Amino acid sequence: MSLRSFTKITRINFLPASLIPFLIGTAFAFKNGYETPAIRFIPALLGVLSAHLAGNVLNNYFDYRSGADDINVKRSPFFGGSRVIHHGEMGPLQVLALGLGFLLFSFLCGIFIFLVTKNPVIIILGATAGLLTYSYTAPPLKLAYRRLGEVDIFVLFGVLLVMGGFYLFAEIFTFSSFLISLPISFLIAGVILCNEVPDHDADAKAGKKNLISLTGKENSYILYAVSMILAAASIIVNIYYGNLPAVGLLLLVLFILGLQAIYVLKKNYKDFDCLIDASKKTITLHALAGLANIILLII
């Protein structure tokens, strides 16, 4: 397996999607006066990143098995699959073994944290994350094929990672930790919705049902706009409740990128290159807003 194939199959450049929410949860614990010792932080971070890589690899394998990647001949850095198996760069069983290997390493990280904390809730959180990671495209649940993929991503790369990151150090769940998870949760939902538009036709032929299949590509901008509105509104709510400082209102300027993506999804939903640009803007918005949240919580 070459480094190029490894990078493609793991989509390692998308690790900020899991790194950012975990760091938001950690920063929120720090803001609230809880210690964040390295003996908990480092293995948890490694476990989160490894689970994310496992999900990316397993999604490639199960989309290959379902035929979704066979039908989808167009691809970009943001959607369309890696096609590593199709091009003979890696065999299907090799990909499956790699994905399960990442998942096993993540599990071992969780066991280590449990031994440190003696808290069984850690095991429950880890098991939940592992189940959601595996079940996105894997049978029997195949959530992404049953219009539950967006919910899975919303929870896994938003609420669960933020609240889990907070709980790791605070060992308590709070309403405030739920609130602080909402902006990044709605933003990652926007990312997945935007990325589903160019894959719509291929997904439909493969029986992969998502929320875009309900609205059609021509109305996908509505769902995307709702996710952006809720993300912006949740930032305001967090400022109101004191989770973020008033200067956090400046984050709303970043949503210009979201407005530009809405325009693309409404006017140019058939243009592949334009859709790549919309995905790029949405991912940039997610990353910048997430990093700004972390900075605001720390300082």
What is residue 54's predicted lDDT score, i.e. its pLDDT? 96
| Alpha-helix runs per DSSP H in 15-148 | 16-31, 38-66, 68-71, 92-117, 120-134
Q: Let me know: does 150 contact 211? Beta carbons within 8 Å.
A: yes
Residue 178: C-alpha distances to residues 4, 277, 279 (Å): 38, 31, 26
Phi, psi of 243 (to 5 degrees): -75, -30
What is the C-alpha separation between 3 and 8, in angstroms, rounded?
A: 9
Collapse the DSSP code of 85 into the 3-class scheme (helix H, G, I; strand E, B; otherwise coil) and give the result: coil
Q: Which two tokens stand for residue 152?
A: 């899975």
* Rounded Cα–Cα distance for residues 296 and 292 (Å): 6
**DSSP 8-state class, residue 241:** T
The reported pLDDT for the residue numbered 223 is 97
Question: Which residue(s) pair with 146 in the sheet?
Answer: 209
Helix (H, G, I), strand (E, B) or coil at 282: helix
Model pTM score: 0.94
pLDDT of residue 267: 95
Which helix (H) or strand (E) segment is 231 a member of? helix 220-240
Transcribe 105-136 into DSSP letters.
Answer: HHHHHHHHHHHHH--HHHHHHHHHHHHHHHTT
3-state secondary structure of 148: coil
- How does DSSP classify residue 76? -
Q: What residues have CB less than 8 Å from 67, skipping those under 6 apart? A: 206
In one-letter notation, the amino acid at residue 105 is F
Q: Which of 193, 177, 275 is nearest to 229 (CA)?
A: 193
Euclidean distance between CA atoms 31 and 296, whole angstroms: 9
The answer for residues whose C-beta is within 8 angstroms of residue 6's C-beta and 6 or more apart is: 12
Check residue 80 and give its pLDDT. 59
Measured between alpha carbons, how far is 223 from 262 in angstroms, rounded to an integer?
10
Residue by residue, DSSP assigns 155-220 as IIIIIHHHHHHHHHHH-S--HHHHHHHHHHHHHHHHHHHHHHTTTHHHHHHTT-B-THHHH-GGGH
Q: pLDDT tens per residue, the chain (299 residues)?
A: 677 888 889 999 999 999 999 999 999 999 999 999 999 999 999 999 999 999 999 998 988 887 665 555 566 565 556 678 877 778 889 999 999 999 999 999 999 999 999 999 999 999 999 999 999 988 899 999 998 999 999 999 999 999 999 999 999 999 999 999 999 999 999 999 999 999 888 787 778 888 998 899 999 999 999 999 999 999 999 999 999 999 999 999 999 999 999 999 999 999 999 999 999 999 999 999 999 999 999 98
